[in-house]
Copies of this chain bind each other. A is one copy, B any other.
Amino acid sequence: MYYLTRLVEFEASHRYWNPEFSLEENHRTFGKCVSPHGHGHNYILRVTLAGYSDPRTGMVLNVKELDRILKEVSSEFDHKFINADHPAFHDRIPTTENLAIAIWQRFAPKLSNAKLHRVRVYENHDLFADFYGEE
């Protein structure tokens, strides 16, 4: 049983704003993140698969196949302003937590021979969220 982890970077922007909050409440809660046109990050997406290694390749999942899925998922976010450009975030705040679960929901069904163990999203090197599929 191995846990194989792979990283991919995507460069996106986001904004924190709750339409049910007053302007003042948004500022108090989200600080500089309420800036109307958003701000950005070099996000790092780090997925971990759990599985047995294929005796013919010595790998849990061929890294080329893993990269293909990672690219498919991350391209929904890469070079985008997430709030405006991604339908799942029109009415959801794109925090690292919410990005982690959204990526899990897109990534997990694409795997056949391995199990998704963890999705980690780094906003920068000081802050990240992990989601393990436990809702």
Contacts and interface: CB of A to CB of B under 8 A. Distances in A.
Contacts of A63: 127
A131 to B, nearest CB: 6
Contacts of A6: 126-127
Interface residues of A, number: 65
Interface in A35-56: 35, 37-42, 48, 53, 56
Number of copies of this chain in the oligomer?
Answer: 6
A20 B72 CA distance: 32
A7 B126 contact: yes
Interface of A: 1-9, 11-14, 16, 18, 20-21, 29-33, 35, 37-42, 48, 53, 56-60, 62-64, 78-81, 84-85, 92-98, 100-101, 124-132, 134-135
26 contacts: A2-B129, A3-B129, A3-B130, A3-B131, A4-B129, A5-B129, A11-B40, A11-B124, A13-B39, A13-B81, A14-B40, A30-B57, A33-B79, A37-B37, A37-B38, A38-B81, A39-B78, A39-B80, A39-B81, A40-B40, A42-B124, A48-B130, A53-B98, A57-B95, A59-B97, A81-B81
